[in-house]
Structure 1
Amino acid sequence: MKKHDNYVAQLTVLQGAGLEDLSNEFVVSGIINKFTLQFELAWKLMKETLAYEGDMAAVSGSPREVLKAAFAAYDFIDEDLWLEMLKARNELSHIYDGDAAAQMVSRIIEAYIPQFIAVREGLDELYAGVLF
């Protein structure tokens, strides 16, 4: 599945965020942009897997609805963290402060990337050889 391949490829890049020079404003901006892309790939991948399972939430175009259905379907998804990520993704265009951006990057590295990895591992376990 192309969505899975894109998700895994981008996650591989994002996982290197903690090794970068986080004092560099350009790097911080790049990590935030990569997070936004990874989040989009994640919920669309979940939408695709839910559609495979016949879940009607996959018909909606809403990330919130897809995420809520994914919480119910998959035990490897942290509901509170995903809702936090959705809120962060929605607010990122309003971050103008360097300190706020640095705090966001810390949260991406410490919490969000591990959750993206958990989703990759969980979906791979469920659908390897079937969808991917």
Structure 2
Amino acid sequence: MDWQRDFQEHIQLLQQAEEEDLTNSFICHGIVHLFQEAFDLGLMAFREALKRDGQGLAAMGSAKELIAAAYEQYLFVDEDIWLAMLRDRHGSQDAIEAQVGRILGPYQDALAALYDSDAAAPR
């Protein structure tokens, strides 16, 4: 599945981003864009995992409903972090540096936990 390969690539790029010049606005905007795409791929992973695990109705909901269903189904999901990610995905009023700090901190950890879980693994 192509989305799984794309998800892996986005996780790896976000991990590499910590080594970049985070004072460079261009780099910071690229990190935000990578996060947005990785988040969307993470939602796709949740949707596919929920369908696979017999939660097809939950997989058809909004992003917020999808996160709530994943929280109920999978132990590794931190609902507060994923809901914060959802808010930032759809536009944050915070300075770019604050956004990048969250992305390279708890958001990256949450995305990596999803990637490392059985939920993102093909069956």
Q: Give the TM-score taking structure 2 as reference length.
A: 0.91
The residue number in structure 1 matching 2:108 is: 113
The residue number in structure 2 matching 1:63 is: 63
Alpha-carbon distance between aligned partners in 2 of 1:102 and 1:4, rounded to the nearest angstrom: 29
Query: Secondary structure of 2:117's partner?
Result: helix
The residue number in structure 2 matching 1:33 is: 33
Cα deviation code 1:70-96 (max 9, x no counterpart) = 00110001111001100111124xx4x
Q: Which structure's CA Rg is the greater one? A: 1
Q: Give the root-mean-square deviation of aligned CA atoms.
A: 1.6
Query: Secondary structure of 2:76's partner?
Result: coil
What residue ranges of structure 1 are gaps of 5+ in the alignment? Answer: none
Residue identity opposite 2:69 in structure 1: A
Alpha-carbon distance between aligned partners in 2 of 1:16 and 1:83, rounded to the nearest angstrom: 24
Query: Secondary structure of 1:91's partner?
Result: coil
Alpha-carbon distance between aligned partners in 2 of 1:40 and 1:23, rounded to the nearest angstrom: 26
Residue identity opposite 1:101 in structure 2: I
The residue number in structure 1 matching 2:99 is: 104
1:127 offset after TM fit, Å? 6.8
Q: Map 1:1-132 to 2 at 5 A.
A: 1-55=1-55, 56-60=57-61, 62-92=62-92, 95=93, 100-123=95-118, 128=121, 131=123
Cα deviation code 1:77-120 (max 9, x no counterpart) = 1111001100111124xx4x7xx101110111111111111111
CA contact (8 A) 2:11 2:111 kept: yes
Query: Secondary structure of 2:18's partner?
Result: helix
Whichever structure has more helix as a proportion of its residues is: 1
Residue identity opposite 2:108 in structure 1: I
CA contact (8 A) 2:50 2:70 kept: yes
Residue identity opposite 1:5 in structure 2: R
Residue identity opposite 2:53 in structure 1: E
What is the number of residues matched between the two proteins? 122
